[in-house]
Amino acid sequence: MRPSDLPQVRALRLFESMSEPSFAALMQASYLQTFPAQLELIHEGEPADFLYVVIEGCVELFAKSNGREAIMAMVQPVGTFILAAVLRDAVYLMSARTTSRSKLLLIPAQNVREVLEGDAVFARAIAEELAGCYRGVVKEYKSLKLRTSVEQLANRLLRYHKERGDSDGAFELPYDKKTLASLLGMTPENLSRSFNTLKPYGVEVNGAQVRVTDLKALETLAKPNPLIDERTN
């Protein structure tokens, strides 16, 4: 890794409080690399050789079984994958591919485990990262189990409206509709029907562009729940 890359990496939440010797040990043999879009980085069932950190771009985690494929999560800066497999020296349970040109930090799994044993600050940061990931998974699972497809989409649009919407209630979907459908556990056809169902509630859709004209009506339908929808863990 180039010396000029170290300050950018050091600023990441996972590493910012580590001692300099521990950080140096962790970065030994680590490197930053830029990958093109749609490149498969890891495959489920393979040993976890590296901890990956997304510095720029976006990575989708996906899984396959019985001829089916589903997107499990999207990892954006600054996020890690797949930490649990690295710590347990286990195989990956998901595959990963870039969705756009992405810069990733690759840290050898053995380095992570060795530093974890001797650095209490790093161990605490790892625990907090895993706890946040676990709580995020629980929230997604609650949404899938407790909501209809229309309610799931309505709440997801409310989130995007809050994060990305302009003063007129317009925003662009962060992913294409096929990806969004997979994230919500739907087929593309079901997603299309759900968008149509939301029209009377003030949701206008034109390709990737969405405009919410009646926020109160959409919230009444969605019934957002902070124990599911709040992004802080």
Show the domains of the chain with their CATH numbers: 3-144 (2.60.120.10), 148-229 (1.10.10.10)
Average pLDDT, the chain: 93
- Is 3 exposed, middle or buried, given 0-12, 13-18 or 19+ CB atoms closer than 10 A? exposed
Q: Is the pLDDT of residue 230 over 80?
A: yes
Q: Is the pLDDT of residue 233 over 80?
A: no
- Residues near 64 by Cβ (< 8 Å), separated by ≥ 6? 44, 70, 95
- Residues near 28 by Cβ (< 8 Å), separated by ≥ 6? 111
pLDDT of residue 232: 63
pLDDT tens, residue by residue, 65-124: 999 999 999 999 888 999 999 999 999 999 999 999 999 999 999 999 999 999 999 999
Q: Is the pLDDT of residue 12 over 70?
A: yes
pLDDT of residue 1: 65
- Confidence band of 181 (pLDDT split at 50, 70, 90): very high
- Confidence band of 3 (pLDDT split at 50, 70, 90): low
DSSP code, position 201: G
pLDDT of residue 79: 87
124 by DSSP, 3-state: which? helix
Q: How far is CA 31 from the centre of its chain?
A: 22
pLDDT tens, residue by residue, 141-159: 999 999 999 999 999 999 9
- Is 25 exposed, middle or buried, given 0-12, 13-18 or 19+ CB atoms closer than 10 A? middle
- Residues near 79 by Cβ (< 8 Å), separated by ≥ 6? 53, 54
pLDDT of residue 154: 98
- Interhelix angle for 120-146 vs 20-27, to 10°? 60
